[in-house]
Structure 1
């Protein structure tokens, strides 16, 4: 938690130096943490590289709730996902 807080606290100033398109950059409140199995690392790398294309067909909300509900049968409170 502390690492994420530090990154979110100190990175916006640097990110805004990377060009005009980042002038309005800010982090949303909250964060999520996910772990992956080492045997799936190639799939994860591919997912990250193709994330922009992937999210043209699936939005983040639908993807996350699908992972939680369908893939892992995890109960959650939407208040902690979007608020």
Structure 2
């Protein structure tokens, strides 16, 4: 099983390019320690995507919880600028078929360029509507 999930930064602190490589490496180690190999991690200043092989031994909710808790602590050690950083409570999770791995990896790899064309919130709404998924918008954004 391959899972793509997104976590939004609502601490109003930009995940500047300066720390994102280290952050993504740190998150990859968290995934590995939880037997959920990260295949691609990427994002922009306000959200990240993680494509990983979810272990059969851990619930997705637990994986996300561990990633958010540990990465938040790590980010806060990067300097005074990041001391109030936190992740949004929720997250989005999607299964990805093996046939779509290449497309999804490229999508994640090119987040900064992609979101110059379409805003992340607009894109999520389009995905939900395209796949006729029921949602209540008040639960999507903090």
Smaller-chain TM-score range? 0.7 to 0.9
Q: Where does residue 51 of structure 1 map in the other structure?
A: 111
TM-score, normalising length from structure 1?
A: 0.81
Secondary structure (helix, strand or coil) at the match of 1:82 reads: coil
Alignment of 1:3-42 (within 5 A): 3-18=63-78, 22-42=82-102
* 1:68 maps onto 2:128 in alignment: yes
Larger displacement relative to structure 2 (29-38 or 14-23): 14-23
Secondary structure (helix, strand or coil) at the match of 2:96 reads: coil
Larger Rg computed on CA atoms: 1
Larger displacement relative to structure 2 (19-28 or 73-82): 19-28
Please report how far the alpha carbon of residue 23 of structure 1 lies from its aligned counterpart in structure 2 after TM superposition: 5.0
CA shift in 2, pair 1:19/1:47, >3 Å: farther
CA shift in 2, pair 1:56/1:22, >3 Å: farther
CA RMSD of aligned residues (A): 1.9
Please report how far the alpha carbon of residue 72 of structure 1 lies from its aligned counterpart in structure 2 after TM superposition: 0.7
Please report how far the alpha carbon of residue 44 of structure 1 lies from its aligned counterpart in structure 2 after TM superposition: 0.5
Where in structure 1 are there 5+ consecutive unaligned residues?
none
Please report how far the alpha carbon of residue 25 of structure 1 lies from its aligned counterpart in structure 2 after TM superposition: 3.1
